[in-house]
Amino acid sequence: MPPSSSPRTLFDKVWDAHMVIPETADAPGVLYVDLHLVHEVTSPQAFADIDARGLKVRRPDRTFGTLDHSTPTNLERSYVTPEAEAQVSTLERNCAKHGVTLAGWDSGDRGVVHVMAPELGLTQPGTVVVCGDSHTATHGAFGALAFGIGTSEVGHVLATQCLLQRKPKRMRFTVDGQLQPGVSAKDLTLAVIAAIGFGGGSGYVIEYAGDAIRALDMEGRMTLCNMSIEAGARAGMVAPDEKTVAYLRGRRHVPQDEAFERAAEHWLSFVTDSDASFDKELLLDGTFITPMATFGTTPDAAIPIGAAAPTPRSDSERKALAYMRFTANEPTTREPVHVVFVGSCTNGRLSDLRAAADVLRGRKVASGVRMLVVPGSEAVKRDAEAEGLDRVFEAAGAEWRQPGCSMCIAMNGDVVPPGKLAVSTSNRNFEGRQGKGARTILASPATAAASAIAGVLTDPRVFTRELEDA
């Protein structure tokens, strides 16, 4: 560990505090993991690995499971295939065998892994959080170092609570200025990914800083950090502040009373020193961001809604535009939208559902559009129903579903049909991501709702005051 006098970044501080054995030229460092989240898709082979070696889950108290990816979102709980059901029962069996807490079907805690853990207060500043899921960076919103790992590494963490890691490089992405009314965290996120480029974050941990980031609430910060992997980055982080502390206060797995105040003081020490340096610095003025949507088949291919799709610069970009059936130099707001999805670990939280409901209230989903609203967790579902959001969605003609990953990864049977155009609040617009042949536009919850009403990709400010004022 460097002397305390040498300036360090937030990431350096978390990294240093978890180095069991520092890396050398010959071997990666041994990094300690505070929280290991497991779900049904990327864990069965890992449990099988440790079972085959006669190893146990070393720290079941630092391991939490949930069911989210393969799970049906209909009330009947009808699985898409027997394999999907078998995968869920495999995790149920593995958790029972190893004494791991599972937010299973009968639990009011169950949710999409990156929605559930923060709600329960499992995600805490200055900790290392891993999961066999690339969107684990979500937890970086709390100033945790959080990243996705492969199944072999899931086995490593189950058996040793540690990972072999070389230290990534440091990037700071500063967003100054203030977001305009009607511009959301998702719009900011898509602008940030577009600025970095799809592979531009490769090898880096990104710290998001600046006035526009500080102004985001915790759910907005989670949306931003969630998509760090879409720029290729290992992780994204936001330094903890009073908003972080206020969010965590009273949650089940954080210390309570006086112990909480002590913990909060410790958490707030995880900030970048004023003279610390980064390997790369990027800057964006948040004042000029408008509602964004993707036009291609990579998440960085995002433009302001209403702008013309740019001229392709390569065969791959030409192929992407052809797949999406958009025309270069023409706006993407004329193609009929068939499916609208509000949900996922990116935008399945209460504030997301409120944003969609605010646009939909008193309006109808256009005929020919199927709209699914999938709460990110049982807790989000309860809270949303308590304030009547479910009734807003159903009155508008949208489907109100059970919590899960649903149409974001489309492995549970919730799919966009071949050739159909979806406006989705999720994180990936890859070819076929939401179903074979599905064409995906990534956008914010408000944009998704506005597009459901209009039947074409639509700037949500059309339905709210902001555009009239502008």
Partner 1 sequence: MPEQFTQLTSRTFVLPQESIDTDQIIPARFLTTTTRTGLGAKAFYDWRYDASGAPIANQPLNTLDTLDTSETRILVAGDNFACGSSREHAPWALFDYGFRAVISTSIADIFSSNALKNGLLPIVVDAETHARLLADPGGRVGIDLERQELTIGNAPPIKFAVEPFARRCLIEGVDPLGWLTDHLPQIEEFERGHAR
26 binds partner 1 (CB under 8 A): yes
| Shorter beta-carbon distance to partner 1: residue 30 or 467 | 30
Q: State in angstroms the smallest separation of the CB of 12 from partner 1.
A: 17
Asked whether position 275 contacts partner 1 by CB under 8 A, the answer is: no
Per rule CB under 8 A, is residue 319 in the interface with partner 1? yes
Tokens of 277: 């340096």
Residue number with CB closer to partner 1 (88 or 356) = 88
Q: Please, what is the minimum distance in Å from the beta carbon of residue 88 to partner 1? A: 9
By the 10 Å C-beta count (0-12 exposed, 13-18 middle, 19+ buried), 8 is classed as: buried
Q: How many residues does the chain have?
A: 470
| DSSP bridge pairs for 201 | none
CB atoms within 10 A of CB 317: 18
CA distances from 179 to 93, 211, 221, 285, 465 (A): 47, 9, 14, 9, 16
Count, in order, helices (H) and strands (E) of the chain.
17, 19
* Residues numbered 241-260 forming contacts with partner 1, rule: CB under 8 A: none
C-beta closer to partner 1: residue 259 or 470:
259
Q: Is residue 160 close enough to count as binding partner 1 by CB under 8 A?
A: yes
- In the set 67, 120, 144, 162, which binds partner 1 (CB under 8 A)? 162
Site string for partner 1, 80-119 (x = CB under 8 A): xx-xx-xx--x-----------------------------
Give the torsion sign (CA, 375, 379, 382, 387): negative
Q: Which stretch binds partner 1 (CB under 8 A): 195-203, 273-281, 286-294, 364-372?
A: 195-203
By CB under 8 A, tell whether 22 contacts partner 1.
no
68 near partner 1 (CB under 8 A): no
Among 10, 36, 37, 42, binds partner 1 (CB under 8 A): 42
> Is 428 a binder of partner 1 (CB under 8 A)?
yes
The single residue among 9, 294, 298, 444 that binds partner 1, judged by CB under 8 A, is: 298
In the bound state with partner 1, the residue whose beta carbon lies nearer, of 135 and 221, is 135
Closest C-alpha among 54, 62, 148, 119 to residue 252:
119
Which neighbouring-strand residues pair with 308?
A: 331
Return the closest-CA partner of residue 240 out of 329, 143, 335: 143
Structure tokens at 62: 């630092």
The binder of partner 1 chosen from 48, 215, 307, 308 (CB under 8 A):
48
Amino acid sitting at position 331: P
**In the range 125-144, which residues lie near partner 1 by CB under 8 A?**
127, 132-134, 136
Q: Which two tokens stand for residue 145?
A: 């170092």
What are phi and psi for residue 345, nearest 5 degrees?
Answer: -70, -15
Give the E-state strand segments of 25-153 in sequence order.
Answer: 29-32, 35-39, 63-66, 101-103, 128-131, 145-148
Contact 80, 33 (CB under 8 A): no
**Closest approach of partner 1 to the CB of residue 442, in Å:** 13
Select from 214, 222, 223, 265 the least CA-distant residue to 243. 214
Total residues contacting partner 1 (rule CB under 8 A)?
72
Binding part of the chain for partner 1, among 76-84, 173-181, 321-329, 356-364 by CB under 8 A, reads 76-84
Return the residue of 11, 12, 15, 32 that touches partner 1, per CB under 8 A.
32
| Stretch of residues binding partner 1 (CB under 8 A), selected from 227-235, 323-331, 372-380, 459-467 | 227-235
Interaction between residue 339 and partner 1 (CB under 8 A): no
- Three-class SS string for 113-127? HHHHHHHCCCCCCCC
Q: Out of 8, 381, 433, 439, name the contact with partner 1 by CB under 8 A.
A: 433
Please tell me whether residue 148 binds partner 1 under the rule CB under 8 A.
yes
User: Rg for the chain (alpha carbons), in Å?
Assistant: 21
Candidates 49, 211, 273, 383: give the one binding partner 1 (CB under 8 A).
49
